[in-house]
């Protein structure tokens, strides 16, 4: 999947902006000693100018996941090279069991994916912070983004 994403980046038309997503860290709040969730996700993905979003990452349960979705920018404020924006990504994610996906389970190994995000940037470099409700508590995610 990582190679597919790199190929898509390389063949994407240069007239379109493409954001490369790297990293991926999360905070699940307090965890019991019996449930050590993964908080380093090694994410690699792209967000194309038309909103198409493709991401692969190691999920909280140490399984490889893939997201196919759409990212919609909701608001954006620019001041010189600085920017602050909000967006939401909706789509389908793989890599979770029915029990792990809770109410988002769609069947066939797929679950709904919904992630509202606040992005702070300088020039082409950005940091995304997403907040989602998972495992009966807030899940905070972070990753780096670079715009080509």
136-148 tens-digit pLDDT: 667 889 999 999 8
Please tell me the number of Cα atoms within 13 Å of 33 on its side-chain side: 0
* Cα–Cα distance measured from residue 25 to residue 142, given in angstroms and rounded to the nearest whole number: 5
Q: How many CB atoms lie within 10 A of CB 80?
A: 7
What's the pLDDT score for residue 37?
Answer: 87
Residues of the chain short of pLDDT 50, as ranges, are 15
Global pTM value: 0.85
Judging by beta carbons within 10 Å of its beta carbon (0-12, 13-18, 19+), is residue 67 exposed, middle or buried?
Answer: buried
């Amino acid at each position: 999947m990582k190679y597919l994403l790199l190929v898509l980046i390389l063949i994407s038309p240069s007239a379109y902006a493409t954001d490369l997503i790297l990293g991926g860290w999360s905070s699940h709040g307090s965890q019991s000693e019996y449930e050590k969730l993964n908080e380093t996700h090694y994410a690699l993905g792209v967000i194309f100018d038309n909103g198409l979003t493709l991401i692969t990452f190691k999920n909280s349960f140490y399984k490889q996941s893939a997201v196919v979705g759409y990212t919609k920018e909701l608001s954006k404020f620019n001041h010189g090279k600085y920017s602050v924006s909000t967006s939401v990504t909706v789509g389908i994610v793989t890599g979770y069991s029915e029990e792990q996906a809770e109410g988002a389970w769609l069947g066939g190994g797929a679950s709904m994916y919904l992630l509202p995000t606040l992005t702070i940037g300088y020039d082409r470099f950005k940091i995304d912070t997403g907040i989602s409700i998972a495992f009966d508590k807030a899940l905070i995610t972070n990753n780096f983004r670079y715009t080509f």
